Amino acid sequence: MSEKKIPYKIYLEESEMPKEWYNVRADMKNKPAPLLNPGTLKPMTEEELGVVFCEELVKQELDNDNRFIEIPEKIRDFYKMYRPAPLVRAYCLEEKLQTPAKIYYKFEGNNTSGSHKLNSAIAQAYYAKDQGLKGVTTETGAGQWGTALSMACSYLDLDCQVYMVKCSYEQKPFRREVMRTYGASVTPSPSETTEIGKKILAEHPGTSGSLGCAISEAVEVATHTEGYRYVLGSVLNQVLLHQSVIGVETKIAMDKYGIKPDIIIGCAGGGSNLGGLISPFMGEQLRGEAEYQFIAVEPASCPSLTRGVFAYDFCDTGMVCPLAKMYTLGSGFIPSANHAGGLRYHGMSSTLSQLYHDGYMEARSVEQTSVFEAAEQFARVEGILPAPESSHAIKVAIDEAMKCKETGEEKTILFGLTGTGYFDMYAYEKFHDGKMTDYIPTDEDLKAGFDGIPRFPGNME
Ligand SMILES: *Cc1c(COP(=O)(O)O)cnc(C)c1O
């Protein structure tokens, strides 16, 4: 095949968009461990999960076998509002770095919510509506997930109640207003509106909150209000499944031009964008058809893969959610006020944790000042103003491209550019003013988190 000139941006036709999500669990020999009921330590049944989540989503959560799951037409139509997402060849960045590496990024920031989260928000809202529910509750950290969910809910005429981590609620008033524009109600967490919120406030007065706290509150409201269920923006198997649309689209675009990535990089908070981006490539690797180097990038302030333990732990601070086996810092771990709010989660997707544990993926942690340096370097040549979360992937992509410059290797590097940073200008301001700090937890800090992980036979002994 003659080599085609690769355009700056590869856009698929609407007719080429994926009609199925890809479920990487079907190709995993070691399946992600099941969620456990914290009371009985037995795997959560469909019935038990159905109290918290929508029926169809429970099925997806438990489905370790079906490789492909059809994307309902209504969801595909919604996707067309902002997809296909472009696969960009970063010619300008390559030129600036003077690297022989070929750099590509899949840009997911082309929608009002500003991130990939809309891919799962519309799916979860769709199944809630399909089940005849009145509304959904959720948590949001930096606000991207809450914004995405409020957009999806307004489209489907569902009520949307968002618990927003208090420090973000205060630091990011604009995101809050975007959510309200789409009709969501937004409560700063921890709040007095739930029992668990009151308890957390009594124990930690003045806390700026965490994702783990906000999850507890949102679950409490969902399970105590008729016609409501809880939805989660990351971590769960179902979310990785929905986000596979990122990877499947990327693979279709790359195959069209005969491009094969050597290295695939993504930032990892709960693992959904990374899991989605790598899924079809990981599938090939798991089936022995191809080999790739996968790199998860996390903040040094919240290093669940690089410094956490692989154990069953609570997904939330209030310990009301099921136990998930994952790389975790302990559900009581509250990371320092890092500006990449979407990466401040104590755990990691069970699917990615298992793949990492089995040696299929690497992980790196990076400090936030170096992340903002990379973000600025990228913005100045590629034009897009990246989200701090996404910039973790940029940082490592640049590091890898610079290694190629030293060795002369022409590696093809693909990374996920998950979103834009327009609502993160406070963080950029701190960086520009030289006031940004890099807080890295000490071993003692981490030990305090690990001490909170439940002990039972086979876990943390
Ligand atoms: C939420 C978010 C992330 C991290 O979440 P994952 O589930 O790990 O993908 C990364 N980037 C952006 C822009 C986000 O909003």
Statement: residue 343 has pLDDT above 90 = no
Hey, which of 418, 420, 424 would you mutate to test ligand 1's pocket, going by the most ligand atoms within 8 Å of its Cβ? 418
Asked if residue 310 belongs to a domain, the reply is yes
22-49 pLDDT, tens digit each = 999 999 999 999 999 999 999 999 999 9
Could you give the CA distance from residue 408 to residue 415 in angstroms, rounded to a whole number? 20
Q: Are 397 and 293 in contact (CB under 8 A)?
A: no
Task: Confirm whether 285 is domain-assigned.
Answer: yes
Phi first, then psi: give them for residue 89, nearest 5 degrees.
-90, 120
Instruction: Let me know if residue 247 belongs to a domain.
Output: yes
| 2 has a pLDDT exceeding 90 | no
13: in domain: no
Measuring from atom 2 of ligand 1, which residue has the nearest CA?
A: 342
Assess if residue 133 is contained within a domain. Answer: no
| Residue with CA at minimum distance from ligand 1 atom 10 | 389
* Atom 1 in ligand 1: residue holding the nearest Cα: 342
Q: Judge contact between 105 and 416, C-beta under 8 A.
A: yes
CA of 238: how far to CAs of 121, 234, 285, 369, 374, in Å? Answer: 11, 9, 21, 33, 32
Percentage of the chain surpassing pLDDT 70? Answer: 99
Q: Is residue 213 part of a domain?
A: no
Supply the pTM of this predicted model: 0.96
Indicate the average pLDDT of the chain: 95
Mutate to test the pocket of ligand 1, among 112, 115, 294 (most ligand atoms within 8 A of CB): 115
Distance (Å, rounded) from C-alpha 91 to C-alpha 382? 8
Which residue, among 440, 447, 448, 450, has the nearest Cα to 300 in the 3D structure? Answer: 440
Query: Is the pLDDT confidence value at 79 over 50?
Result: yes
Confidence of residue 3 (pLDDT cuts 50, 70, 90): low
Closest to 230 in 3D by CA, of 9, 79, 58: 58
φ, ψ of residue 257 to 5 degrees: the values are: -110, 10
What is the per-residue pLDDT across 385-415, written as a single tens digit (0 to 9) for each? 999 999 999 999 999 999 999 999 999 999 9
Question: Is residue 443 situated within a structural domain?
Answer: yes
Model confidence at 1, in pLDDT bands (50, 70, 90)? very low
Closest Cα to residue 103, out of 113, 114, 112, 91? Answer: 91
Question: Is residue 327 in some structural domain?
Answer: yes
- Per the structure, the complete domain to which residue 447 belongs is given by 72-114+237-451
Element containing residue 310 per DSSP (H, E)? strand 309-314
Quick one: pLDDT at residue 142? 81
Decide whether any atom of ligand 1 lies within 6 Å of the 239 Cβ.
no
| Tally of structural domains, the chain | 1
Local structure of 132: helix, strand or coil: coil
> What local confidence, expressed as pLDDT, does residue 210 receive?
81
pLDDT digits (tens, 9 = 90+) for 357-374: 999 999 999 999 999 999
Inter-residue contact 71 to 245 (CB < 8 Å)? yes
Residue 79's domain is classified under what CATH number? 3.40.50.1100
